[in-house]
Amino acid sequence: MDRRTLGGTGISVSEFTLGAMMLGAWGTKDHDEAVRIVHTALDAGINTIDTADMYSDGESEVIVGKALRGRRDDVVLATKFHYGMGQDANHRGNSRRWIVRAVEDSLRRLGTDRIDLYQVHRPDPDTDIDETLSALSDLVRSGKVRAIGTSTFPAAEIVEAQWVAEKRGHLRFRAEQPPYSMLARAVERDVLPAARKYGMGVLTWSPLAGGWLSGRYGGPDGADPAEATRSGFLPQLFDTGLPGNAAKLAAVTELRKVAADAGLTLPALATGFVLAHPAITSVIIGPRTRDQLTSLLDTAGTVLSGDVLDRIDAIVPPGTDLNHDVTHYDPPALTDKELRRRPPARISIG
């Protein structure tokens, strides 16, 4: 499997990264089978594993730790923090107080003494980025972390973090992890250009757009997306009665034709598309079963011609998200209506 360098870190990562979100209660509940999935990926040439403390409430990290016994030195290990790990309001976020606790918890669950890439899972509007970068820089200097990165950060916050790191003398974020697929291309507008500008590596997630590009949907023989496993808790992403999802289904039908004409499966077209962008370092694949992993491994090394990429552009224009909900993060300026409405003027009565 091809390798690429992660930004300016000098760390060599495989073109596919094994995403461990589905290892544990959220997917593969049997730990022995989950370990076999990890070993199958490593034996196929994948050297990078990405997990997070919140995946199955820490269980994913425990499974990854089991799988890496005796193989840790050969693996680039990435994990993330930010989301709540319990009911306490201080057991979440991007504060120094939580970071120094979260990293110790992750190290214990992973059964290791260092994390190769420690990532901020989402922005935290309640915490100054200077506070976050200061704490993360200390972790790198202590040897517990090798490099730091972000996940699903808007371009403006990526730029701000780079500026703060330079002005305050902190280590800077070396990687970003955004969602990116043929159906979700908004990051092409500013996130990917910002990452390239600052020499950041990019690990993308959801190349199959939450299963839309798995080959199960679209066309006369395609299944109904509403029957997808995830539709029960994410109906806004699969209900084809919604305009965005109807547009996705129409696009998938056309993309299946592109794949067939190119002699490829739709998943191969999907992973090949992501890896064709010059900003992308590695694409995260998150299988739930070994069969799913094997089918995705078969797409490694797919190279798309310019003509095929042009046909994809004609179906889903560059910089376009067909369904806004796939962005997975909206800043408070959009979600808090009080931040976008001027308060009523007060009338003073003397």
Partners of 115 in beta bridges: 145
Tokens of 8: 């300016």
How many other CB atoms are found less than 10 A from the CB of residue 146?
A: 18
Partners of 315 in beta bridges: none
- DSSP string covering 65-122: HHHTTTTGGG-EEEEEE-S-SSS-TTSSSS-HHHHHHHHHHHHHHHT-S-EEEEEE-S
Q: What CA–CA distances, in Å, run from 123 to 45, 82, 143?
A: 32, 8, 24
The position carrying tokens 């064709």 is 276
Of 55, 118, 180, 198, which residue is the catalytic one?
55
Q: State the alpha helices, DSSP H only, in 87-212.
A: 96-110, 129-142, 155-168, 191-197
> Reduced to 3 states, what is the DSSP secondary structure of residue 259?
helix
Identify whether 83 is a catalytic site residue: no
Q: Report d(CA 334, CA 339) in Å as an integer.
A: 8
CA atoms within 13 A on the CB side of 57: 5
Instruction: Give the angle 129-131-133 at the CA atoms, nearest 5°.
Output: 65
Indicate which residues carry an active-site annotation. 55
